[in-house]
Amino acid sequence: MKPNQPGAFAFRQLFSWWIEADARPRRALIAAALGWMLDAFDVMLYSLVIANLMIAFQMDKETAGLLGSLTLIAAAIGGIIFGIIADRFGRTKAMMAAIAIYSIFTAACGLSVSILQLAIFRFLLGLGMGGEWSSGAALVSESWPALHRAKAMGFMQSFYAVGYALAALAAAVVLPLWGWRAVFFVGVLPAFLIIWIRTQVQEPDIWKEKRLQAKTSLPEMLGVIFGRRLRFLTTVVTLMNAFTMFAWWGFNLWIPAYLILSPQKGGLGLTRAGQTWLIVAMQFGMWLGYLTFGFISDRFGRKRVYIFFLTAAALLLFLYSLVHLPAMLFFLGPLVSFFGTGHFSGFGALTAEIYPTQVRATAQGFTYNIGRIMSAVAPFAVGSLAQTLGFGAAFAVAAFSFFLAALMWIWIPETGGKALE
């Protein structure tokens, strides 16, 4: 394609923010995006083999959902801990440690011989899962200017969909040949990313400048986050994230099982191939949603775009709960994923624009992961509802949670385009 052709011009306009950036922010974004992609890959392997685990360990839906909730609680704890580590010792160091933890303990899940062992390994990998987002979000938000911050965060978040899709494909290939244990063993591969991050990715200048000053103690950090000026906003942002994550995990953790379980057990009874392609289609919608949200919110602001995406997600997920035809779900699934997931692109930019540098990773870790703790009941709650009332009623509850998240924006101000100090 020649540079003066319309297609080349459109491509350059769309990706000018990337083309014009230098190597340091690019590498930071690639590192965080790959870390987040492989985080999704490892974490979602559980949902893809959950039906096999229920047979292997004779678990009911409530127990399987409880294990999913346990992982979210661990992820919240890990996110808070690694947010503090990232503020004190560096974004890249925290991210490398988080990747190592979730890689090792995902593989360890394949060695489980009891529900208790599986629960312990899921808890430990959850610590790394939460830690990767906290450190990666701070790294990206501080490496890119305000004009392109949401685009960069959208690019990072979009790789979660890639990781989920790769997990679905890996499970489709590995599971029939070697069983569910081998699926978890594949999860050790992300550890190799640490080598590249260690040699190629630098800390943001804004963090290094703050580090040269006196280090902020943990009580001082909490004093900023929960001080008179920010305490109410911290509470509302955390609640907004809790509602979005309740809806997301309640829906996405159970979708693979819902698609493949027999109608007698409340599912659709699809083949493994049918399940895989429906999930891959949803991840394509998720990927587009992540990227689109970043561009739109940089153009029109965080508030309006967030409310639009969350309201659309609530309506579409409620419709999804009423439909039982696979062909219709193939159409609806990507739309639910587009609106129900794309808004997560804005959370890193939103919190980066609210909190100052010396507490940014801690605040992002707190608001994201306390919300995750509050939402950790979702896998268990949806599993329990599915056991008693069916998946339709369970997914409808998740849809209502999206609506509650949209309501929280009554009290959240517009922060789009704010330059970091």
CATH number at residue 250: 1.20.1250.20
Is the pLDDT score of 129 beyond 70?
yes
Q: Is residue 419 part of a domain?
A: no
Q: Is residue 56 part of a domain?
A: yes
d(CA 35, CA 134): 11
Give Cα 219 distance to the centre of its chain: 28
Q: What is the pLDDT of residue 13?
A: 52
Q: Is residue 16 part of a domain?
A: no
Number of domains in the chain: 1
d(CA 215, CA 203): 16
Question: How much of the chain, in percent, has pLDDT values that exceed 90?
Answer: 11
d(CA 233, CA 224): 12
Q: Is residue 43 part of a domain?
A: yes
Mean of per-residue pLDDT scores for the chain: 81
Q: What is the pLDDT of residue 11?
A: 46
Which residue carries 């925290």 as its tokens? 94
Contacts of 106 (CB under 8 A, 6+ apart): 42, 43, 45, 121, 125, 184, 187, 188
Contacts of 335 (CB under 8 A, 6+ apart): 285, 316
Name the least confident of 10-14, 195-199, 239-243, 322-326. Answer: 10-14
Q: Is residue 8 part of a domain?
A: no
d(CA 36, CA 343): 16
Burial of residue 222 (CB within 10 Å: 0-12, 13-18, 19+) is: middle
Is the pLDDT score of 330 beyond 70?
yes
Q: Is residue 4 part of a domain?
A: no
Q: In the 8-state DSSP scheme, what is residue 358? A: G
Is the pLDDT score of 96 beyond 80?
yes
Which residue carries 């450190």 as its tokens? 135
Q: Is residue 53 part of a domain?
A: yes
Query: 205-212 and 115-143 are packed helices; what angle lies between their axes, rounded to 10 degrees?
Result: 90
Range of the domain at 220: 22-200+214-410
Give per-residue pLDDT as tens, 222-266.
777 888 888 899 999 999 999 998 998 888 778 877 887 777 777
Q: Which amino acid is at 378?
A: A
pTM: predicted TM-score of the whole model, two decimal places: 0.71
Q: Nearest Cα to 43, choosing from 123, 158, 143, 148? A: 123
d(CA 23, CA 217): 32
Give per-residue pLDDT as tens, 2-52.
555 544 544 455 667 777 777 788 888 888 888 888 777 777 778 778 888
